[in-house]
């Protein structure tokens, strides 16, 4: 009898079922009312007293073994049924295809980090602005051409509401809400009604910086920008300043860096000058400070602004600005550093 039980145990161990029917038949043959296991339980009363212990233990082992095997096969068959055919469920998962950050985003984060080391905080403001914060508070004369319909996207039917043309508007909002010392940069999207080409787009990104305190000088501006150029483009980078005009700064300058493509030797990208323009800057015009309630007798400040796409083009050697807006994965996947 013990031998028979052991035989059944090994049968249960090696039993396999291809279909639910086969499995059910096995279950009935073993555990059904007239099943082999049930029969053995019925015979328990006839077993000699000294064998009862061993017999009972073996019999329980058999019953558990059969029950476990049935449950195991049942789960397997059910999983198989719900799976699409042709799939190997025993394979390990394939892993996720991770995306990468957009090049403009990377450049922006790097710039934020560099200026954070100099104590600049990040400020943000609305993309839909009013004329006051985008122009008037920045000392734009009422008839200034930048307000012209050609350059600015106005909201239809609301001549006072527009898409900001630069993030200098955020600087105005910061000055309205804070007292000097102010040291902040404002990264963000800006909009200009321009024809789309390899060098221009109607949407792009800027980072503008503002520093207002007592005795801030043009030398501070120059040193800050030189530090930025060396941190971002490498220790060999040099800058030069050319006089320029912006309504909100006086004096104003445009800043060039040594061409990162030819290291200043002269190439097609820098039109053989060895220099590339990267930003506009200047000392904050007293009218701008006063418009935001800052005493221009006590405080001075500098401001600068640069286009992210242009910086990203230089960093990654990209020759067409439109790539940044097309979201073509073949382009984006190449920029992984
Ligand atoms: N706002 C200017 C632009 O969009 C850039 C700039 C910012 C110039 C701050 C000077 C000072 O072109």
What's the mean pLDDT in 217-227?
Answer: 97
pLDDT at 298 over 90: yes
- The answer, yes or no, to whether any atom of ligand 1 lies below 6 A from the CB of 168, is yes
- The answer, yes or no, to whether any atom of ligand 1 lies below 6 A from the CB of 281, is yes
Gap from CA of 302 to ligand 1 centroid (Å): 11
What's the mean pLDDT in 39-53?
Answer: 86
- The answer, yes or no, to whether any atom of ligand 1 lies below 6 A from the CB of 134, is no
Q: Are 134 and 164 in contact (CB under 8 A)?
A: yes
More reliable by pLDDT, 16 or 222 = 222
- The answer, yes or no, to whether any atom of ligand 1 lies below 6 A from the CB of 108, is no
pLDDT at 84: 67
Residues 185, 209: Cα–Cα separation, whole Å:
4
Gap from CA of 249 to ligand 1 centroid (Å): 9
pLDDT at 126 over 70: yes
Convert the pLDDT of each residue in 233-255 to its tens digit: 999 899 999 999 999 999 999 99
Cα 89 versus chain centre, distance: 33
- The answer, yes or no, to whether any atom of ligand 1 lies below 6 A from the CB of 208, is yes
Least confident interval from 140-149, 225-234, 279-288:
140-149
For residue 63, count CB atoms less than 10 angstroms from its CB and return exposed for 0-12, middle for 13-18, buried for 19 or more.
Answer: buried
- The answer, yes or no, to whether any atom of ligand 1 lies below 6 A from the CB of 211, is no
Return the ligand 1 atom nearest residue 168 CA. Answer: 1
- The answer, yes or no, to whether any atom of ligand 1 lies below 6 A from the CB of 17, is no
Gap from CA of 63 to ligand 1 centroid (Å): 84
Gap from CA of 230 to ligand 1 centroid (Å): 21
Q: Are 249 and 282 in contact (CB under 8 A)?
A: yes
- The answer, yes or no, to whether any atom of ligand 1 lies below 6 A from the CB of 249, is yes
Residues 186, 45: Cα–Cα separation, whole Å:
90
pLDDT at 295 over 90: yes
Convert the pLDDT of each residue in 56-91 to its tens digit: 888 898 889 889 988 988 888 887 777 666 777 888
User: Among residues 96, 49, 67, 54, which one has the least CA distance to residue 8?
Assistant: 67
pLDDT at 261 over 80: no
- The answer, yes or no, to whether any atom of ligand 1 lies below 6 A from the CB of 166, is yes
pLDDT at 43 over 90: no
- The answer, yes or no, to whether any atom of ligand 1 lies below 6 A from the CB of 304, is yes
Q: Is 121 helix (H, G, I), strand (E, B) or coil?
A: strand
How do the domains of the chain map onto residue ranges? 2-82, 103-332
pLDDT at 54: 86
pLDDT at 105 over 70: yes
pLDDT at 302 over 70: yes
Report the residue among 129, 145, 246 best suited for mutation to probe ligand 1: largest number of ligand atoms under 8 A from its CB: 246
- The answer, yes or no, to whether any atom of ligand 1 lies below 6 A from the CB of 233, is no
- The answer, yes or no, to whether any atom of ligand 1 lies below 6 A from the CB of 301, is no
Per-residue pLDDT band for 46 (boundaries 50, 70, 90) equals confident
Contacts of 34 (CB under 8 A, 6+ apart): none
What's the mean pLDDT in 259-272?
Answer: 82
% pLDDT > 70, the chain: 98
What's the mean pLDDT in 205-227?
Answer: 97
Residue of the nearest CA to atom 10 in ligand 1? Answer: 281
pLDDT at 248: 95
What global pTM score does this model have? 0.72
Residue of the nearest CA to atom 2 in ligand 1? Answer: 305
pLDDT at 267 over 90: no
pLDDT at 149: 61
Q: Are 308 and 185 in contact (CB under 8 A)?
A: no
User: Which fold does the domain 103-332 belong to in CATH?
Assistant: BirA Bifunctional Protein; domain 2 (3.30.930)
pLDDT at 187 over 90: yes
Gap from CA of 168 to ligand 1 centroid (Å): 7
Residue of the nearest CA to atom 6 in ligand 1? Answer: 305
Report the residue among 115, 303, 306, 310 best suited for mutation to probe ligand 1: largest number of ligand atoms under 8 A from its CB: 303
Please, what is the average pLDDT of the chain? Answer: 90
pLDDT at 87: 75
Per-residue pLDDT band for 150 (boundaries 50, 70, 90) equals low
Report the residue among 280, 301, 304, 307 best suited for mutation to probe ligand 1: largest number of ligand atoms under 8 A from its CB: 280
């Amino acid at each position: 009898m013990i031998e028979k039980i052991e035989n059944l145990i090994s049968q249960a161990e090696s039993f396999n079922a291809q279909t639910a029917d086969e499995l059910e038949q096995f279950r009935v043959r073993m555990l059904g009312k007239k099943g082999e296991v049930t029969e053995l339980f019925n015979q328990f009363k006839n077993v000699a007293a000294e064998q009862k212990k061993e017999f009972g233990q073996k019999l329980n082992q058999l019953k558990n073994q059969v029950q476990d095997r049935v449950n195991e096969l049942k789960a397997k068959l059910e999983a198989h049924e719900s799976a699409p055919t042709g799939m190997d469920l025993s394979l390990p998962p394939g892993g996720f295809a991770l995306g990468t950050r957009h090049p403009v985003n990377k450049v922006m984060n790097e710039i934020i980090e560099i200026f954070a080391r100099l104590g600049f905080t990040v400020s943000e403001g609305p993309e839909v602005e009013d004329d006051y914060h985008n122009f008037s508070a920045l000392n734009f004369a009422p008839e200034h051409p930048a307000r012209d319909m050609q350059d600015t996207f106005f909201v239809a039917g609301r001549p006072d509401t527009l898409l900001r043309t630069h993030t200098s508007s955020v600087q105005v909002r910061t000055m309205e809400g804070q007292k000097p010392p102010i040291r902040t940069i404002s990264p963000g999207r800006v909009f200009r009604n321009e024809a789309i080409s390899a060098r221009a787009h109607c949407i792009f990104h800027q980072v503008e910086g503002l520093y207002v305190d007592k005795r801030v000088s043009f030398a501070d501006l120059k040193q800050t920008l030189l530090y930025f150029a060396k941190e971002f483009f490498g220790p060999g980078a040099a800058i030069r300043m050319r006089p320029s005009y912006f309504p909100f700064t006086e004096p104003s300058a445009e800043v060039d860096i040594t061409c990162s493509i030819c290291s200043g030797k002269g190439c097609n990208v820098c039109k053989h000058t060895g220099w590339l323009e990267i930003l506009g800057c200047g000392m904050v015009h007293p009218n701008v400070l006063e418009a935001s309630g800052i005493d221009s007798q006590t405080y001075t400040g500098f401001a600068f602004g640069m286009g992210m796409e242009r910086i990203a083009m230089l960093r990654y050697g990209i020759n067409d600005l439109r790539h940044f807006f097309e979201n073509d994965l073949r382009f984006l996947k190449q920029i992984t550093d």
